[in-house]
């Protein structure tokens, strides 16, 4: 699809059906298949395995367009997590056999992916991870409870991180690809926001996986894989969220009578607009640092921390302006405000990373 076709798709198939899908609280497999047929789902992935070979930068650009026009942040998160937290790590870390087996259906939309890393008590803290993957015969037996996991209720394939060597802390974690099969149970979780993105808790009850479902090598679960997932997901989501915020800002401003608001408020709204332009440029830089040629881990971390703190503050400031200007809130603005709670996720990890940054 070219840009014009994508825009039309976002308006006619995503925006126009959003309220109905959100009211049902559901994920629409039909719409997912349409996105796959349009080429968006597999576009970042290797052509050898059924992908479009376009790379992550182009994928994020397309998803940004879908988010800015379709205004469905939940569907956007589901799509990003399917690609960035399951299919792409498989492409980077998986064996040829694993890639041949799972990438084609992931690209085609026949198989939905998710990543189950976090746990109820410890969040994403590798030191507090309880899930285990015990060696058993020529494979492993996985046990534990993961969540919340994006896409869990509809996922067919999970990237699971569990301890193969519980005594070795974060160095004893490994990652596996686990099909939804005997021993995998999912409990749906209602988040109260992002109604079009299904979330759930994944219960692994002695799930048998063969050794060839190990992603990479034993011990790669945290340092190589979980850390990459964190960086990839954030780097992909940030430009998409900025595009969504640009649309939010536009909808707020266009619903105001300029004569009816104070000069201070006009200045504040103009500043928020200018900031979005800067965020867009910085988001492109972040993408380049994560998926492109530019390599500078320190700059990438600082940009991730910058966005992690700045975007929620930006949203808070806009919320206050919306209230002060008494912007009439229609269904679209209400839903956007609700779904922006996504920006609160991962706050404590950011605080922890800030504390470690200089000292």
Ligand X SMILES: Cc1cc2nc3c(=O)[nH]c(=O)nc-3n(C[C@H](O)[C@H](O)[C@H](O)COP(=O)(O)OP(=O)(O)OC[C@H]3O[C@@H](n4cnc5c(N)ncnc54)[C@H](O)[C@@H]3O)c2cc1C
Query: Which x/- pattern, by CB under 6 A, does the window 271-290 give for ligand X?
Result: --------------------
233 part of the active site: yes
Determine if 348 is a binding residue for ligand X (CB under 6 A). Answer: yes
| CA separation for the pair 179, 297 (Å, rounded) | 33
Number of H helices, E strands in the chain: 12, 8
How near is the Cβ of 267 to ligand X at its closest, in Å?
Answer: 34
* Pick 211 or 357: Cβ nearer ligand X: 357
| CA separation for the pair 242, 281 (Å, rounded) | 10
Six-digit token string for 325: 């200007």
Q: Which stretch binds ligand X (CB under 6 A): 120-128, 261-269, 283-291, 312-320?
A: 120-128
* Pick 53 or 169: Cβ nearer ligand X: 169
Single out the catalytic residue among 69, 119, 218, 233. Answer: 233
Name the pairing type of β-strands 113-116 and 157-163.
parallel
Determine if 345 is a binding residue for ligand X (CB under 6 A). Answer: yes
Distance of alpha carbon 352 from the chain centroid: 21
Determine if 126 is a binding residue for ligand X (CB under 6 A). Answer: yes
CA atoms within 13 A on the CB side of 201: 12
Out of 50, 123, 292, 312, the residue judged to bind ligand X by CB under 6 A: 123
How near is the Cβ of 9 to ligand X at its closest, in Å?
Answer: 25
Beta carbons within 8 Å of 122's beta carbon, 6+ residues apart: 128, 129, 130
| CA separation for the pair 346, 159 (Å, rounded) | 19
> The tokens 């004569």 sit on which residue?
259
Calculate ∠ Cα 259-340-250, nearest 5°.
Answer: 30
Determine if 203 is a binding residue for ligand X (CB under 6 A). Answer: no
How near is the Cβ of 22 to ligand X at its closest, in Å?
Answer: 15
Near ligand X in 62-101, by CB under 6 A: 81
Near ligand X in 149-178, by CB under 6 A: 149-150
Residues recognised as catalytic:
233
Binding site for ligand X (CB under 6 A): 81, 114-118, 123-126, 148-150, 191, 199, 226-227, 230, 345-349, 352
């Amino acid at each position: 699809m070219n840009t014009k076709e994508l825009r039309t798709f976002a308006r006619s198939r995503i925006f126009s059906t959003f309220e109905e899908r959100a009211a049902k609280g559901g994920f629409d497999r039909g719409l997912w298949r349409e996105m796959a047929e349009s080429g968006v789902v597999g576009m970042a992935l290797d052509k050898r395995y059924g992908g479009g070979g376009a790379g992550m930068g182009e994928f994020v650009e397309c998803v940004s367009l879908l988010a800015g026009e379709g205004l469905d942040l939940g569907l956007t998160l589901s799509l990003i997590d399917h690609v960035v937290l399951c299919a792409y790590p498989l492409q980077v870390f998986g064996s040829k056999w694993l890639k041949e087996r799972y990438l084609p259906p992931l690209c085609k939309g026949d198989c939905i992916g998710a990543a189950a890393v976090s746990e109820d008590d410890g969040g994403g803290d590798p030191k507090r991870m309880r899930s285990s993957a015990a060696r058993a015969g020529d494979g492993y037996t996985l046990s534990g409870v993961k969540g919340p996991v994006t896409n869990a209720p509809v996922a067919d394939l999970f990237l699971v991180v569990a301890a193969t060597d519980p005594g070795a802390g974060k160095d004893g974690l490994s990652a596996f690809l686990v099909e939804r099969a005997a021993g995998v149970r999912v409990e749906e979780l209602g988040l109260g926001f992002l109604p079009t993105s299904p979330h759930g808790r994944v219960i692994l009850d002695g799930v048998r996986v063969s050794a060839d479902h190990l992603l990479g090598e034993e011990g790669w679960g945290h340092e190589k894989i979980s850390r990459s997932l964190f960086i990839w997901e954030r780097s992909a989501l940030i430009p998409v969220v900025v595009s969504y915020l640009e649309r939010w800002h536009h909808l707020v401003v266009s619903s105001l009578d300029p004569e009816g608001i104070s000069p201070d408020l006009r200045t504040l709204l103009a500043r928020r607009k200018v900031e979005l332009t800067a965020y867009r440029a910085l988001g492109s830089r972040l993408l380049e640092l994560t998926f492109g040629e530019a390599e500078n881990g320190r700059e990438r971390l600082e940009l991730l921390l910058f966005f992690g703190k700045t975007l929620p503050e930006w949203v808070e400031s806009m919320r206050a302006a919306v209230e002060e200007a008494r912007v009439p809130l229609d269904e679209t603005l209400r839903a956007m405000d609700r779904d922006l709670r996504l920006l609160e996720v991962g706050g404590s990890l950011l605080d922890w990373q800030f504390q470690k940054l200089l000292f």
